[in-house]
Amino acid sequence: MRYLPKSPTDRATMLEQIGVGSIDDLFRSIPAEYRLTGDLKIPPQMGEQEIVSLFHAAADRNANGYASFLGAGAYRHYRPVVIDALVQRGEFLTSYTPYQAEISQGTLQAIFEFQTMICELTGMEIANASMYDGSTGAAESVMMAARVTRRSHMVVASTVHPEYREVLRTYAQHQGLSKQRVGYGPDGRIDMQALEAAITDKTACVLIQSPNFFGVIEDVAAIAELAHAKGALLIVSIAEALSLGIVRPPSEADIVSLEAQSFGVAISYGGPYCGVLACKEKFIRQMPGRLTGATVDQQGRRGFVLTLSTREQHIRREKATSNICTNQALVALMTCIYLTIYGKAGMRELAEQNLAKAHYAAQTLGATPGSKLLFANSPRFNEFVLDTTEAPDVLNARLLQQKMIGGLPLAHWYPELRNASLWCATEQNSRAQIDAAAAVLAGKEAPALVYV
């Protein structure tokens, strides 16, 4: 086996040193009736070339060469090649959690930089070293708010990503947390009247998403005012992190739960992504996840360590703030590199391009016969909801024939939006793609798209 660095002679010498006759002697503690005597029924050992071929074949059965208008929690953005060049360095890729600070300064400093950038982007005072993803991050934020406020009722906007809400339900059901759902108004934003009525002095937190699942940007300041008036915390979940390049940061929130996949992380059929929690500093003791802090060594030189670990499971066990251990460190590093590449100026420029592409797509598709742009006058980032006379599934089938993947039908989660679908346009969508999709919507023959 090519990954194993031993010759038969090595093995024999080592068995002799141990003082046993055969390798099976070392497995004697396993009762004989449970020891396997034959091979596992899995495919036979393959050479590297066979493995690469097998995965190439799998990749070829997926959607290759399609123009896509999908978003909904997983966003198509260009990934600069520098990211993979750097994260594939063995010193990042094959190191463990940086518990031994003296030989982990590289990872630790990068996390410290990541935490700083997340604070700058979100308007929060502190950020952790990552969570699994945006959905579990939102759920952990709610549990955190319940600990901070010692209350057990949550108010959740129906425009939070439906899968995030499903995850929240799974987490909350055994924490004794009750939930009230608040719907959206004709502008696609949270229904402020219903929200005000839903928040009581028993409410631990209000959870919203902005831009919300429809791509509409919420009025965070106004929502925060309603929450804070009753002593509840406001949690803002952000699924499309790139929006922060041009959308006001949710500084009035108490906790921000960010999914940072947009920052240079491959879509990769849904993961691994990079959740991260940021919050006001006063809540630090209730925050889950690892934190890196700056300090000095014995000679007074700057360095970094994992800190405030007494919140975590390996010390506090059943009283920990969360059971999270392994997080998404390497993905956090990808996002850190991405933010460094685009930086202060590029993040804005890129976000502006997304805004422009989505605006053009929304106007162009919304103007086709039988189509209507919903929530047309609300501020949006790069997603929009299109209502069509034709059923979205039928429409999407026609688009697929032209090698285009249309918007995500919404009726499954929002029965009232029977013929609506959620579209996303990023810097990856060319004007030609948008025009071609519009032609198909209009029932015309789409101009041939050239894929180089």
Partner 1 sequence: MAYPNSYHYTREHEWLQVEGAIGTVGITDYAQNSLGDIVFVDAPKVGDAVEAGKVFGSVESVKAVSDLYSPVSGTVTAVNQELDTAPEKINTEPHQAWIIKVQLSKPAEVDALLSSADYEKFISEEEAKQ
Partner 2 sequence: MATETVTPSNTTASEAKGSPFVGERSKVSSHISQNEGLIFEKSSPGKKAYRLAPLDVPAVNANALLGKQAREDLGLLPEVSEIEIIRHFTRLSTWNYAIDLGMYPLGSCTMKYNPRVNEMVARLEGIADAHPYQPESLSQGAMRVMWMLQECLKEITGMEAITLQPAAGAHGEFTGILLVRAYHESRGNPRKKILIPDSAHGTNPATAAICGYQVQNLKSNSDGMIDLAELEHLVDEETAALMLTNPSTIGVFESEIHKIADVLHSKGALLYMDGANMNALVGKTRPGDFGVDVMHLNLHKTFSTPHGGGGPGSGPVACKKILEPFLPTPVLVETPANTLTFNYDRPQTIGRVRMFYGNYGMFVRALAYILANGPDGLRQTTEDAVLNANYLRSKLEDVYELPYKTATLHEVVFSDRRQARNGVKTGDIAKRLIDYGFHPYTTSFPMIVPGALMIEPTESESKEELDQFVDAMRQIARETEENPEIILHAPHATRVSRMDEVAAARKPVLRWKPNASVSEAAASSENPPLVPATAAKEY
Cβ neighbour number for residue 331 with a 10 Å cutoff: 25
Report the alpha-carbon angle 339-340-345, nearest 5.
80
- Binding-site member from 180, 196, 360, 391 for partner 2 (CB under 8 A): 360
**Chain mean position to CA 439:** 33
Q: Which does 285 bind (CB under 5 to 8 A by kind): partner 2, partner 1, none?
A: partner 1
Of residues 197 and 397, the one with the C-beta less far from partner 2: 397
Dihedral sign from CA coordinates of 51, 57, 61, 62: positive
Smallest gap, in angstroms, from Cβ of residue 246 to partner 2?
5
Q: Which of residues 314-333 bind partner 1 (CB under 8 A)?
A: 315-316, 319
- Binding-site member from 323, 443, 444, 448 for partner 2 (CB under 8 A): 323
Q: Which does 367 bind (CB under 5 to 8 A by kind): partner 2, partner 1, none?
A: none
80, 429 contact by CB (below 8 A): no
**Chain mean position to CA 428:** 19
Of residues 28 and 316, the one with the C-beta less far from partner 1: 316
How many residues belong to the site for partner 1 (CB under 8 A)? 6
Classified as helix, coil or strand, 50 is helix
Q: Which of residues 74-113 bind partner 2 (CB under 8 A)?
A: 74, 76, 80, 82, 84-98, 100-107, 109-110, 112-113
Of residues 51 and 197, the one with the C-beta less far from partner 2: 51
Which residue(s) pair with 205 in the sheet?
Answer: 154, 233
Stretch that binds partner 1, among 191-199, 313-321, 349-357, 443-451 (CB under 8 A): 313-321
Q: Which of residues 165-194 bind partner 2 (CB under 8 A)?
A: 166-167, 169-171, 173-176
In DSSP notation, 133-171 reads -HHHHHHHHHHHHHHHHT--EEEEETTS-HHHHHHHHHH
**Chain mean position to CA 159:** 17
Of residues 320 and 391, the one with the C-beta less far from partner 1: 320
Write b or e for each residue in 252-268: b if 16 or more Cβ atoms lie within 10 A of its Cβ, otherwise e.
bbbbbbbbbbbbbbebe
Stretch that binds partner 2, among 128-136, 147-155, 228-236, 365-373 (CB under 8 A): 128-136
Classified as helix, coil or strand, 112 is helix
Of residues 210 and 321, the one with the C-beta less far from partner 1: 321
CA distances from 67 to 235, 353, 373, 441 (A): 34, 18, 21, 15
Query: Phi-psi region for residue 429, left (φ > 0), alpha (ψ -120 to 50) or beta?
Result: beta
Of residues 120 and 387, the one with the C-beta less far from partner 2: 120
Q: Which of residues 322-381 bind partner 1 (CB under 8 A)?
A: none
Residues in contact with partner 2, shown as a per-residue x/- string from 392 to 431 under the rule CB under 8 A: ----x---x----x--x------------------x--xx
Q: Which of residues 416-435 bind partner 1 (CB under 8 A)?
A: none
Of residues 120 and 196, the one with the C-beta less far from partner 2: 120
- Binding-site member from 188, 215, 249, 366 for partner 2 (CB under 8 A): 249
Spell out the residues 6+ positions from residue 432 whose beta carbon is closer than 8 angstroms to its own. 447, 449, 450
- Binding-site member from 160, 347, 386, 441 for partner 2 (CB under 8 A): 347
Of residues 230 and 309, the one with the C-beta less far from partner 2: 309
Residue 285 found at the interface with partner 1 (CB under 8 A): yes
Smallest gap, in angstroms, from Cβ of residue 135 to partner 2?
4
**Residue 17 in tokens:** 């040193």
**Residue 344 in tokens:** 């202060």
Residues in contact with partner 2, shown as a per-residue x/- string from 208 to 247 under the rule CB under 8 A: ---------x-x------------------------xxxx
The secondary structure element, H or E, covering residue 404 is strand 404-405
For residues 317 and 309, give the distance between their C-alpha atoms in angstroms, rounded to a whole number. Answer: 11
Binding site for partner 1 (CB under 8 A): 285, 309-310, 315-316, 319
